[in-house]
């Protein structure tokens, strides 16, 4: 080979290995073509001026776009072209929106609209040139956590003080809805929980699952073990294989506190007469949904002339009967003779009848005898299959060891 040819071959080989500034800025698409790598939202936000707003109550997508500067015809085209990406009927009032504008000779021109579906996902609408849409999901991190919280003031405050998201309380209340009355928690009560959560930009956005929980209150211990035995999963059992789901919920509503406890000697706040108050009063705002604690039949739905206001009575299995008083109104379809399911909304908190403020007066009888709702022992549901008891026991002791570390 001639010397000149050899030198030329070496130079060509070296050029193949020289770093290319252009190559660092491109990414190959599926067809092998090279395109400029786009920023997270799909466009460079720093090139535009931005206005922030929120979806208004009752505002349609086309109305929102019109308010931001996109014509009605173009908005309709955008709806049809993005229907596989985003259902505009699911746009929610209060969700944040950013509109990005470029400057032209006539003023500002709407280029992009970013609608935030939730704290992770956003939908980006291109409003100039080619009308279309795409989604952007912020990066998230999955974490396995162990919480250990002893109540000193309230479960909510103590969870926050321990660095645990209050979102965990909602899921715990659902799991223990048949076992623990969250309205009756006391100082010294303890929750230990093993759970998975999703974090986005340093903020907990959801609790993915609770694998194990242990509630301790004096001599009362209530473990909750998540175990799937092929019947749908997501169910919780105690260490004996008894389902945490029972015939009756522990409380007829979700709210913040008990204002008056079950007692046979209470001075009535209006009449001043001391008489039995065989009920639990749940203080809550007017309109708070009230749920039936168990399956049953409505035996009374109407006005109670003795001071109970709007009242519902329900007959349940095994001689149990419940009563819900001072309601602001009844739920749709609730009437005498109607069948109701556990957890079904039957009415809404009010202050009708003899009442000093919005609350629910809740009562329970067993074979005609008043029962303290906070101490009522609910009949259990069907237990775990016997062939799964050993696996459940191993899981239980593994979790006990994990929370002890």
Domain boundaries, the chain: 45-137, 141-237, 257-371
DSSP state letter for 40: T
**Tokens 């050993």 map to which residue?**
390
Q: How do the pLDDT tens digits run along the chain, 405 residues long?
A: 455 554 445 444 444 443 333 333 333 444 444 445 668 899 999 999 999 999 999 999 999 999 999 999 999 999 999 999 999 999 999 999 999 999 876 788 999 999 999 999 999 999 988 899 999 999 999 999 999 999 998 888 898 899 999 889 888 988 998 988 887 788 999 999 999 999 999 999 999 999 999 999 988 999 999 998 876 666 899 999 999 988 899 889 874 333 333 333 334 344 443 334 457 888 888 888 999 999 999 999 999 988 999 999 999 988 999 999 999 999 999 999 999 999 999 999 999 998 888 999 999 999 999 998 888 888 777 788 999 999 999 999 999 999 987
**Does the domain made of 257-371 have the CATH classification 3.40.50.300?**
no
CA–CA separation, 78 and 73 (whole Å):
9
- Rounded to a whole number of angstroms, the distance between the first and last alpha carbons of the chain is 74
Is residue 203 a contact partner of residue 351, using CB atoms and an 8 Å limit?
A: no
CATH number for the 141-237 domain, one of 1.10.240.10, 3.10.450.350, 3.60.21.10, 3.40.50.720? Answer: 3.10.450.350
Q: Could you give the CA distance from residue 216 to residue 190 in angstroms, rounded to a whole number?
A: 5
User: Which CATH class for the 45-137 domain?
Assistant: alpha beta
Task: With H, G, I as helix, E, B as strand and everything else as coil, classify residue 242.
Answer: coil
* Rounded CA Rg of the chain: 30
Distance separating alpha carbons of residues 178 and 165, to the nearest angstrom: 23
């Amino acid at each position: 080979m001639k010397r000149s040819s050899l030198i030329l071959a070496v130079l060509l080989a070296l050029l193949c290995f020289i770093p290319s500034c252009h190559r660092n800025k491109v990414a190959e698409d599926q067809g092998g073509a090279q395109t400029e790598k786009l920023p997270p939202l799909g466009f460079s936000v720093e090139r535009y001026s931005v206005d922030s707003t929120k979806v208004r109550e009752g505002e349609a997508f086309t109305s929102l776009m019109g308010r931001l500067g996109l014509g009605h015809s173009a908005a309709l085209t955008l709806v049809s072209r993005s229907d596989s990406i985003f259902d505009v009927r699911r746009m929610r009032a209060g969700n944040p929106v950013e509109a990005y504008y470029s400057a032209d000779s006539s003023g500002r021109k709407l280029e992009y609209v970013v609608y935030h579906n939730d704290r992770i996902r956003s939908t980006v609408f291109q409003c100039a040139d080619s009308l279309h849409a795409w989604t952007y999901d912020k990066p998230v991190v999955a974490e396995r956590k162990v919480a250990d919280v002893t109540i000193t003031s309230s479960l909510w405050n103590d969870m926050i003080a321990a660095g645990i998201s209050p979102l965990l309380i909602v899921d715990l209340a659902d799991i223990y809805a048949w076992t623990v009355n969250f309205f009756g928690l006391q100082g010294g009560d303890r929750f230990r929980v093993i759970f998975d959560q999703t974090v986005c930009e340093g903020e907990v956005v959801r609790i993915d699952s609770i694998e194990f929980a242990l509630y301790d209150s004096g001599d009362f211990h209530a473990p909750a073990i998540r175990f799937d035995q092929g019947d749908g999963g997501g169910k919780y059992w105690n260490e004996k294989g008894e389902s945490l789901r029972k015939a009756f919920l522990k409380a007829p509503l979700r709210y913040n506190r008990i204002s008056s406890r079950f007692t046979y000697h209470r001075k009535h706040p209006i009449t001043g007469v001391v008489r039995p108050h065989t009920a639990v009063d749940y203080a809550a705002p007017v309109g708070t949904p009230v749920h039936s604690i168990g399956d049953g039949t409505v035996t009374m739905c109407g006005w109670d002339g003795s001071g109970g206001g709007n009242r519902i009575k329900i007959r349940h299995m095994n001689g149990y009967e419940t009563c819900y008083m001072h309601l602001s109104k009844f739920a749709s379809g609730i009437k005498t003779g109607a069948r109701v399911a556990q957890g079904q909304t039957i009415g809404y908190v009010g202050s009708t009848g003899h009442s000093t403020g919005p609350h629910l007066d809740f009562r329970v009888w067993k074979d005609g005898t008043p029962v303290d709702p906070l101490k009522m022992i609910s009949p259990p549901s069907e237990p775990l299959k016997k062939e799964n008891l050993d696996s459940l026991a191993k899981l239980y002791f593994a979790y006990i060891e994990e929370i002890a570390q």
